[in-house]
Structure 1
């Protein structure tokens, strides 16, 4: 009887171990350790002559970083701080991490670090990887109107 009991216990341990390993992945897809940063294209409309820094944050009621806060990504990984001219202003891409919040905020600073404008914004996202089991980066867009220059 001892041999039967040992075999039953051994079988139960093997079954639990197999279920534990199988429980680590859902379905046929096992996602590797992945990460990405979702980019938001911020279009500034108006006179951008005095604009030095643009920052953004994601989430309702969030506070955009100050002009002198360290960037969330190393400069070499974040080419978005270089503005691209567009009709009536310029555009740049900022990165908010892996979230796709519906609301956020954008702050625009001059060279002295003074706020030119800070606005709560609705973020519109394109998420081409939504149907993929492991997801992927999304891109958002927002337009910010700059106040008229006082000069």
Structure 2
């Protein structure tokens, strides 16, 4: 039985023919309401995590000061260069107010590529403490010791220098 090409195409239904309109129904799959809400929730959570991960560490993780104990004088550092001529606020390591918390103690905290913590380093042959007081000019300061570690593996001693009248 042979069918020529014209006969074959005459038997194939056309989509716009009324008599064939209901012959084959193709339904598009629609997700349920629950699936839609789950998808929106997952996408919203992912977006929120992306936004939080883009925040600088200073906003995401606040450092706090580590309150310790201190000497009421320079604890044996009287003759160190800088103290003996009143040319430095603190000696022993680089010092800055940026290493201090609001109460004048060394910051304890961490971020993307840093970690800082207080230590008992001062004492120079005496019982070690976290800090000592020193008068620079007419202003008394607290010099509090601590370490800052970075992602490259280095750990350096730093000093919090805080005017502490």
Question: Same fold by TM (over 0.5)?
Answer: no
The structure with the largest strand share of the pair is 1
The structure with the largest helix share of the pair is 2
